[in-house]
């Protein structure tokens, strides 16, 4: 069925813009705004809030760019252990460079990059050198002495004062990073300390989309946030400070509530007076006011919870997360009475395996199935064979369906498949000649030069963006990269596509 909007992106953009400018004015026109979540390509928000633009924050920055500086933070430990951003398959340090490029493409320059909790790690020094030699200002902040209990030490020349001050020229300073724990808050407070010593009454606020403070605690959108951070152990709760002060429930998450007493003392000491009475007071998030179809948004959030459950099960199989993470994701599912099979394409994908087993087909004894739900609700399936991965078969079948091409017409000439198979086996010494999705898409593009039917089908690839896909196995690197570039919402069962320990 066609997807409709449950979220008014333009209304949200306007209200969010006004709210931020209103907060800037409260601090003598100097505000450090901590940007939580993804500054670009926020696909989680787009999935749980249909109609939300993944780049709405960039549109917001464009509206603010004449009044804003941007500081990017990255935790040195994330560089050292090569922490990955799963939705792009790249490390956090690479993501910082990608963000700088993307911001520039929107006409926005980054003022500086801050490497936080720096300890002279060799890998971190290499990253710093890369940026500096491309004329990007880089600052390093070490661990803050006294943090988090000794406020007198923290708010002193030996604490925040030991950090280099970053020169900014605009009333609004956006402080962001590639993920949680990047050191955004510490950077904001360090800057405020230096400026209050100079007599500048700068302030702090937080812009984080989730959890949404203005909707119920157990609303599926807020529960989906808990699922998305199951590996971090985050959970939502009613802000006790807000409830006590205003007798009004507001939703926040455990880490903000836990750190608030210390943060409040630090802010009070820096500014000389009380600024915020609750963690919710610090926020400027207006996302809840953009929801225009609660039922649609709730269903979308439930589907995201199921996707996260599948993802954690696969990450457990690959050794990336522990049992507790999978158990948390499963408990969240049960909380909303959800089952994995509530994802429409799961059973059709698994049905391909049963069909293959009955027919005795497969690749080295491993049967793999795949299914995709097109935007009109049509479900298309695919399965592996000695010549092609299940993801490859699925995509070819899907674009044939979209183009109205009969099933018995082949998009790839046999000679092309044989040629690629010979290359893989005889020259590249590959253990299998079966084409993964990336290889299949290249073969398809070659076929378009001589086959008008292939050209007609390839033109439909863009229509797969945001479609739902499920595989009965963990995708190989070539399949995962191809599916990610097509922009589908992918889940998979925690099974391996072959008995080999190294997937190629």
| Residues 441-448: contacts with CB under 8 Å, at least 24 apart | 441/395, 441/482, 443/412, 443/416, 443/417, 444/396, 444/411, 444/412, 446/416, 447/411, 447/412, 447/413, 447/416
Q: How many CB atoms lie within 10 A of CB 452?
A: 8
Looking at residue 279, its pLDDT comes to 96
- The H helix count followed by the E strand count for the chain is 20, 14
Q: What is the pLDDT of residue 489?
A: 96
pTM over 0.85: yes
pLDDT at position 501 is 65
CA separation for the pair 281, 215 (Å, rounded): 16
CA-based nearest residue to 381, from 357, 333, 346, 338: 346
Vertex 36, ends 297 and 470: CA angle to 5°?
45
State the pLDDT at residue 28.
80
What's the pLDDT score for residue 370? 97
Beta strand 31-35 with 203-207 is: parallel
**b/e map of 115-135 (b: 16 or more CB within 10 Å)?**
bbbbeebeebeebbeebeeee
pLDDT tens by residue, the chain, 504 residues: 445 789 999 999 999 999 999 999 888 879 999 998 778 888 999 999 999 999 898 888 888 877 889 999 999 999 998 887 766 778 999 999 999 999 998 888 999 999 999 999 999 999 999 999 999 999 999 999 999 889 999 999 999 999 999 999 999 999 999 888 899 999 999 999 999 999 999 999 999 999 999 999 999 999 999 999 999 888 999 999 999 999 999 999 999 999 999 999 999 999 999 999 999 999 999 999 999 999 999 999 999 999 999 999 999 999 989 999 999 999 999 999 999 999 999 999 999 887 666 555 544 457 899 999 999 999 999 999 888 999 999 999 999 999 999 988 989 877 788 778 778 777 777 777 789 999 999 999 988 888 899 999 999 999 999 999 999 999 999 999 999 999 999 999 999 887 776 655
């Amino acid at each position: 069925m066609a997807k409709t909007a449950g979220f008014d992106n333009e209304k949200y953009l306007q209200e969010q813009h006004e709210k931020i400018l209103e907060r800037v004015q409260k601090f003598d026109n100097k505000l450090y705004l901590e940007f939580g979540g993804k500054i670009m390509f926020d696909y989680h928000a787009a999935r749980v809030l249909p109609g939300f633009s993944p780049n709405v924050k960039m549109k917001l920055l464009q509206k603010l760019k004449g009044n804003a500086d941007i500081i990017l933070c990255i935790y040195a430990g994330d560089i050292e252990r090569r922490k990955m951003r799963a939705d792009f398959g790249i490390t956090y340090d690479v993501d910082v460079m990608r963000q700088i490029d993307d911001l520039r493409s929107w006409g926005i320059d980054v003022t500086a990059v801050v490497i936080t909790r720096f300890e002279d790690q060799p890998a971190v020094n290499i990253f710093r050198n890369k940026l500096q030699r491309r004329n990007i200002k880089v600052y390093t902040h070490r661990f803050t002495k006294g943090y988090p209990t000794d406020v007198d030490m923290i708010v002193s020349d030996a604490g925040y004062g030991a950090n280099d001050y970053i020169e900014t020229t605009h009333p609004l300073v956006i402080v962001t990073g590639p993920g949680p724990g990047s050191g955004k808050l510490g950077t904001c407070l360090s800057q405020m300390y230096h400026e209050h010593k100079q007599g500048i009454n700068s302030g702090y606020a937080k812009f984080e989309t989730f959890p949404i403070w203005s909707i119920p605690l157990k609303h599926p959108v807020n529960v989906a946030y808990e699922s998305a951070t199951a590996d971090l152990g985050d959970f939502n709760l009613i802000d006790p400070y807000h409830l006590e002060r205003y007798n009004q429930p507001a939703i926040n998450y455990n880490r903000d509530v836990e750190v608030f007493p210390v943060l409040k003392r630090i802010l009070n000491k820096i500014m000389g007076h009380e600024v915020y009475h609750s963690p919710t007071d610090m926020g400027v998030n207006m996302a809840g006011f953009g929801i225009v179809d609660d039922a649609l948004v709730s269903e979308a959030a439930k589907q995201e919870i199921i996707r996260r459950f599948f993802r954690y099960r696969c990450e457990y199989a690959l050794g990336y997360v522990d049992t507790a993470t999978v158990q948390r994701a499963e408990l969240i599912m049960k909380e909303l009475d959800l089952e994995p099979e509530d994802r429409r394409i799961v059973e059709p994908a698994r049905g391909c395996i049963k069909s293959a087993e009955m027919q005795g087909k497969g690749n080295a004894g491993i049967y793999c199935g795949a299914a995709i739900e097109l935007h009109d609700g049509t479900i298309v399936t695919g399965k592996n064979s000695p010549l092609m991965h299940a993801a490859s078969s699925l995509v070819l079948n899907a674009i044939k369906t979209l183009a109205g091409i009969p099933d018995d017409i082949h998009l790839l000439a046999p000679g092309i498949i044989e040629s690629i198979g010979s290359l893989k086996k005889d020259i590249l010494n590959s253990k299998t000649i079966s084409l993964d999705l990336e290889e299949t898409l290249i073969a398809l593009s070659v076929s378009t030069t001589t086959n008008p039917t292939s050209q007609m089908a390839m033109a439909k690839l863009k229509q797969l963006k945001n479609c739902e896909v499920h595989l009965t196995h963990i995708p190989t690197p070539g399949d995962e990269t191809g599916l990610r570039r097509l922009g589908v919402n992918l889940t998979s069962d925690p099974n391996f596509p072959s008995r080999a320990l190294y997937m190629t």
